[in-house]
Chains A and B, each alone.
Chain A
Amino acid sequence: MRFWTYSVNEYLFLIAAVFSGLLAVAIFCFLLFFGLPLLQSGQLADLLFSSWAPDKGLYGIYPMLIISLTLATLSMLISFPVSLGCSFVITSLAPVRLRRILLAIIRVMTGIPTVVYSFAALFLLVPIMRNLVGHGSGMSILTAAPVLALVIAPTMILFFVDSLNKVSSSFTLAVDALGGSEIQKLLYVILPLAWPGIVNGVLLGFGRAMGDTMVSLMLAGNSTAVPESMTESARTLTAHIALVMAFDFDSMEFKSIFVCGLFLYILTAALMLLFRMSTVYFSERT
């Protein structure tokens, strides 16, 4: 890294890279700067564990925290098996020509805007949920989870497909020569070898599910109480940020958003760190 030998153009590259890197830090700093008064006032425990009742002076984000985690987990529970199954079909089970078509379809699906999914689901799924449950608005975690699962599935599928395809052909040809079927090859040789990649994909998927705003904003209901069941209206951390921003910038409500923001930032940063570390760890082992 001989900085002193760089020409002007090369310094520009350096500046661009450092500037971009600092953006991540800058976002964190902004959140911290604005949220600090709240944190310092010693109300952190209250914020994290009490409910949201501004009229009572309670600005806890606990309900939203629970809902975000629940929604992300539920949508992963739906999306993971579906994505894994699709990746099996795309890498092994489907005839060769069909594989390419399916892969292209999945790739195009990654481009579909989440707001479009949510909009369609709002008018298609919510009335159905309302009828199924019998009461309420039809907007709930249960309504949002399948849609969120659909949103994160294409990315996870592509990630899984990539991991499965990376397994060395010396192993796959060996299984073929021994008379193994496609599914046997997948289950007993490819999957165990590709497992670290699969786990990484799950990490990424979970991070995306936690960070999604539009699906939960439009489909989960946005009530601030801790719901009794999954068929009741609920609000996630991300939806909370989107909804509260309209208020007075110096209010406590507004400041509670920063705690949401800080929490989400730290969570996703930790997930990405975990992701990067596990990638390095597993690539060193093979």
Chain B
Amino acid sequence: MEIPIKIRTQSLCFYYRRRQVLHDISLELPANQITAITGPSGSGKSTFLMVLNRLWEEVEGCAISGKVTMELDGHFNNIHDSTLSVRELRRKVAMVFQQPNPLPMSIYKNIAFPLRLAHINDKTRINEKVESALRQVCLWDEVKDRLGDDGRLLSGGQQQRLCLARALVLNPEVLLLDEPTSSLDPEASTAIEELLLTLKSQCTLIMVSHYQDQIQRIADLHIKVLNGRFSI
């Protein structure tokens, strides 16, 4: 059975302050699978992720060339197309960072924040989505009695799961993960890995990782990066 393609890049090049970081990347990433990207530091892995949700546009000194298309809402779009706003794109292509970054607000407000940004105001709907997101990341039972606590008070592993829940609350089609377990202890890492496997059914996961065994365990496709050049 042919696996549908979710993301396609064509001759993608990325420049940071006139230095070329990504060289002519052309590849296809499968839908509803976990694609792992590995390589030495500075080879362009995180940069590639930032291209997929256009986060590079918030950083000064970046430029790209080439084409990136994504299957969203049933049809393929060039992500730089003017018909799709950057904010809409980022709601469908969510990101989890290497260092957990809970916002300076309560756990509840952290999860509800993307909903607020999208101007979703219905209280019941928000409650439902927050609970469902926290259940998905297996955090609900741990925090249900202290949803008002500051998100930064949680342990590292819990914070990362919080960030994951926050990324999932708008039901993204693509989930970008930048070394999601590198700042966590082995137990927390395993919990996250198991979680990621369960998420395959609902979205496409692109994950940067340093850990070969992690990739062995959960990745469907393994891409290696060296000096800004990708190989499968």
- The answer to whether A and B come from one shared complex is yes
Q: Are B90 and A176 in contact (CB under 8 A)?
A: yes
Q: Is B107 engaged at the interface, CB distance under 8 Å to the other chain?
A: no
Secondary structure class of chain B's binding surface, majority of residues: helix
Whether A188 is near chain B, meaning CB under 8 Å from some CB there, is yes
Residue B113 interfacial (CB < 8 Å)? yes
A-B contacts, 15 of them at CB < 8 A, read A96-B60, A170-B97, A170-B99, A173-B97, A173-B101, A174-B97, A174-B103, A175-B117, A177-B55, A178-B90, A178-B117, A179-B90, A179-B170, A189-B104, A192-B104
Evaluate whether A181 and B55 lie within 8 angstroms (CB atoms) in the complex, with A170-B97, A173-B97, A189-B103 already known: no
B91 touching A179, Cβ below 8 Å: yes
Asked if A184 is at the interface (CB within 8 A of a chain B CB), the reply is yes
Whether A179 pairs with B58 at a CB distance below 8 angstroms is: no
In the complex, are the beta carbons of A173 and B88 less than 8 A apart?
no
Check if B209 is an interface residue, CB within 8 A of chain A.
Answer: no
Say if the beta carbon of B156 comes within 8 Å of chain A: no
Chain B min CB distance to A224 (Å): 51
Cβ-defined contact, B90 with A173, below 8 A: no
Q: Is B104 a contact partner of A193 (Cβ separation < 8 A)? A: yes
Q: Give per-residue flags for A161-203: 1 if the beta carbon is below 8 A from chain B beta carbons, else 0.
A: 0000000001111111111110010001100110000000000
Closest Cβ of chain A to B132, distance in Å, is: 17
Whether B87 sits at the interface, judged by CB under 8 Å, is yes
Q: Is B95 interfacial (CB-CB < 8 Å)?
A: yes
If A179-B88, A179-B91, A180-B117 are given as contacts, then 9 extra A-B residue pairs at C-beta distance below 8 Å, sorted by A number, are A96-B60, A170-B101, A171-B101, A171-B103, A176-B58, A177-B95, A178-B91, A179-B118, A189-B104
- Whether B97 and A179, one on each chain, are in contact in the complex, defined by CB atoms closer than 8 angstroms, is no
Interface, chain A (partner B; CB < 8 A)? 96, 170-181, 184, 188-189, 192-193
**Chain B residue with Cβ nearest A176:** B58
Residues of chain B from 64 to 88 with CB closer than 8 A to chain A in the complex? 86-88
Q: B104 to A171, Cβ gap below 8 A?
A: yes
Q: How far is the CA of A101 from the CA of B38 in the complex (A)?
A: 42
Contacts of A188 in B (CB 8 A): 113, 116
Neighbouring B residues of A172 by C-beta, 8 Å: 58
Is B181 positioned at the interface, with any CB of A under 8 Å from its CB? no
Interface residues of B in 172-216 (CB under 8 A from A): none
Among B55, B88, B104, B118, residue most surrounded by chain A Cβ atoms (within 10 Å) = B104
A179 pairs with B103, CB closer than 8 A: no
Cβ of A177 and Cβ of B117 under 8 Å apart?
no
Q: Which of A173, A179, A181 contacts B114 (CB 8 A)?
A: A179
Within 8 Å of chain A (Cβ to Cβ): is B94? Answer: yes
Range for the number of chain B residues in contact with chain A? 20 to 34
Contact call A184/B101, Cβ cutoff below 8 A: no
Q: How many Å from the CB of B172 to the closest CB on chain A?
A: 10
A180 touches B87 (CB 8 A): yes
Beta-carbon nearest neighbor of B163 in chain A: A174
Contact B101 A178 (CB under 8 A): no
Complex contacts, A180 vs chain B, CB 8 Å: 87, 117
Q: Considering the chains assembled together, what is the distance between the CA atoms of A118 and B101 in angstroms?
A: 49
Residues of A near B101 (CB, < 8 A) are 170-171, 173-174
Q: Nearest-CB distance from B104 to chain A (Å)? A: 6
B53 adjacent to chain A (CB < 8 Å)? yes
Residues on the B chain within 8 Å of A192, using CB = 104
Which residues of chain A come closer than 8 Å to B114, judged between CB atoms? 178-179
Q: Does B166 contact A (CB under 8 A)?
A: yes
| A192 to B167 alpha-carbon distance, docked (Å) | 22
How far in angstroms is the closest Cβ of chain B from A166? 14
Question: Who on chain A is nearest to B113 by CB?
Answer: A178
| Bound-state Cα–Cα, A174 to B98, Å | 11
Residues of B within 8 A of A173 (CB): 55, 58, 97, 101
Q: Which of A172, A174, A177, A180 has the most CB of B within 10 A?
A: A177
Across-interface contacts of B53 in A (CB, < 8 A): 177
CB distance from B111 to the nearest CB of A (A): 11
Nearest CB of chain A from residue B110's CB, rounded to whole Å? 10
Most buried by A among B58, B97, B116, B166: B58
Chain B residues lying within 8 Å of A181, measured Cβ to Cβ, are: 87, 117
Closest CB of chain B to A95's CB: distance in Å?
A: 12
Q: Is the CB of A177 within 8 A of B90?
A: yes
Nearest 9 CB-CB pairings of A with B: A179-B90, A177-B95, A179-B87, A179-B91, A170-B101, A180-B117, A178-B114, A174-B101, A176-B58
Contact digits for B36-56, partner A, Cβ 8 Å, 1 yes 0 no:
000000000000000001010
Bound-state Cα–Cα, A113 to B41, Å? 53
